[in-house]
């Protein structure tokens, strides 16, 4: 079985490195991007099973990136998890309105993050079954 591919996006190199290490140790194939523009380029040029986005980044915010992900046929149904320090209700609401599937506030326990990632990537969850049943464009 092929490794699930995750794109992790954060402008904080230390946080991004730690996130990558946690995911790689669990067996995921992880690509990283330091900003929204690089994330969108990676998504255009590659295929991913999940995106983990920070909100506050230079240039495009995570919200903007998520909106663009939802506008493209190729990535419309791609699961998006926000992992951010922005924990106010208004922030979470904006994340939901942007089209995220989950909004996690840092700091988050690695076990909780891995459980949530596993839930989105498992072939046996209702989320995966829903994505497989969704009509595809193109």
Express each pLDDT in 15-56 by its tens digit: 999 999 999 999 999 999 999 999 999 999 999 999 999 999
Kindly list the structural domains of the chain, giving each domain's residue range(s) and its CATH number in brackets, ordered by start.
5-133 (3.40.50.2300)
Strand partners, 29: 5
Task: Identify the band that residue 125 occupies on the pLDDT scale cut at 50, 70 and 90.
Answer: low
Radius of gyration of the chain (CA): 14
What DSSP letter does each residue of 68-100 carry, written as one string?
HHHHSTTTTT--EEEEES--SHHHHHHHHHHT-
């Amino acid at each position: 079985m092929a490794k699930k591919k995750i794109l992790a996006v954060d402008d904080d190199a230390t946080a991004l490195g730690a996130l990558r290490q946690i995911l790689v140790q669990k067996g995921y194939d992880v690509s990283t991007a330091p900003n929204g523009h690089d994330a969108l380029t990676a998504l255009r040029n590659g295929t991913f099973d999940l995106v983990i986005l920070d909100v506050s980044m230079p240039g495009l915010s995570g919200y903007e990136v998520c909106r663009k992900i939802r506008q493209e046929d190729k990535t419309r149904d791609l699961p998006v998890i926000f992992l951010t320090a922005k924990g106010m209700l208004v922030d979470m609401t904006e994340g939901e309105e942007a089209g995220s599937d989950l909004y996690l506030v840092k700091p988050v326990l690695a076990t909780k993050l891995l459980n949530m990632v596993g839930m989105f990537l498992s072939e046996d969850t209702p989320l995966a079954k829903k994505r497989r049943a969704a009509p595809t464009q193109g």
